[in-house]
Structure 1
């Protein structure tokens, strides 16, 4: 079993840097994974991806040496099991409004006594049956991580309770949806939004969890000073879009 790079960084007090893949191209995902990022964020919430392709994307992360960090659809948490078995190290849970939603996913991700996950030790996570069952059970519980997204106004009163849940490792703020829900789209410096960010950081510090946020590379230092330790700083879409614009502008006559 490949150990989780993200958890290694978290447990040693280091900063986590990830990149998002917007396209279902295993070669592109492998290139991102092999570029020095700790994890590649793959989104299944906003895209419908064939199961075989999802497996290929997870495999590309493994080959590139980064964690596969999968955002699942909020309406179907049963999707979690096959992703973990295929070798995804992290799960991102979007649109959470209540702590019970996070508890349900922890139960799906963790073997007893931490959860209620069923055993099937023949997949990539178990080194295709080559890891002894007892060792596999212990390693799987220790190497899988869950990031709960803080992006709904309804979840704000429950931030501390979610951070306290065993099996929740990261509180991942979604600035776009959170400011949208607050009626302040894009205003990440609004006092109400800043207060929520501080609440996330405080809850994470209190319960030994990690605060995460997507941002530009220029914003990392300021968020790091606030207490965030996990950043998504780029996506393949942004690289392609920025590169195309720059190339076209460079030859403007």
Structure 2
């Protein structure tokens, strides 16, 4: 049941995630673990996954040493609770702009007394073991990782209040949506983007939460942000990695003179 990503985050260590956008087989967790990643970011907001596919990837990951985290599309309860019942160890909620939304997120995902989630029986997190209910539910609550995405200037302004919500573990800046919404798409070093990073870092430091980033993958920018304090790092996706490696290989072969 142990969530190694949460453990490392609480210790202040950098953890690396990979977006799962196109891979639909359970081997993706094993492959990404072998490649040095800590967590899968199974994307049901932008990816093609149904519940069954996300479940298969998540339950396999539980035995592969890599943390299955699922990004849902919205705050609708069933989007989070069903995949949590089916193996996810964390949920990413996009477009969190207020502390009220963050509190509702926690209420949906956590079992009582921390939340209001219904208990449907055995859980894969404990290998479907017949544990006493209090032991099972408290353990799942303890190991669950809840991630609030910060993707607007308004969310940056509310970062302190969002980070103060009990049960929220990570504030993850979605740099692409943030810059796009500002009308400065791709300008990840713009002063307005930097301000949101500063707001999130300060809020997380104040409330003992983990600051994270995604959507900004240039090596120099990653190095800078990690040195500034970012710790929960979405490093790219299976699709982007596959395209980059395939392009590099094809260009190398086509460059051979015959």
TM-score w.r.t. length of structure 1:
0.93
CA deviation map 1:107-166 (0-9, x unaligned): 011122211112223121343142221211210110001110001233222111000000
More displaced stretch, 192-201 vs 95-104 = 95-104
Q: Distance in 2 between matches of 1:88 and 1:69?
A: 6
CA deviation map 1:169-210 (0-9, x unaligned): 000000100001111111111111111100100000000001
Query: RMSD of the alignment, in Å?
Result: 1.6
8 Å CA contact 1:171, 1:212 repeated in 2: yes
Alpha-carbon spacing, 1:59–1:35, altered in 2? closer, same or farther (3 Å)? farther
Q: Distance in 1 between matches of 2:126 and 2:133?
A: 8
8 Å CA contact 1:42, 1:69 repeated in 2: yes
Structure 1 segment 43-62 matched on structure 2, within 5 A: 43-62=43-62
Partner of 1:198: 198
Partner of 1:65: 65
Partner of 2:229: 227
Structure 2 stretches lacking a partner, 5+ long: none
Structure 1 segment 25-36 matched on structure 2, within 5 A: 25-36=25-36
Q: Distance in 1 between matches of 2:60 and 2:127?
A: 16
Partner of 1:183: 183
Q: Distance in 1 between matches of 2:124 and 2:155?
A: 34
Residue 16 of structure 2 corresponds to residue 14 of structure 1: no
8 Å CA contact 2:29, 2:66 repeated in 1: no
Residue 241 of structure 2 corresponds to residue 239 of structure 1: yes
User: Which runs of at least 4 in structure 1 moved beyond 6 Å after TM superposition?
Assistant: none
Q: Distance in 1 between matches of 2:88 and 2:39?
A: 10
Q: How many residues align?
A: 252
8 Å CA contact 1:6, 1:39 repeated in 2: yes
Secondary structure of 2:158's match? helix
Q: Distance in 2 between matches of 1:50 and 1:187?
A: 33
Partner of 1:98: 98
8 Å CA contact 2:21, 2:46 repeated in 1: no
Q: Distance in 2 between matches of 1:110 and 1:243?
A: 40
8 Å CA contact 2:9, 2:210 repeated in 1: yes
Structure 1 stretches lacking a partner, 5+ long: none
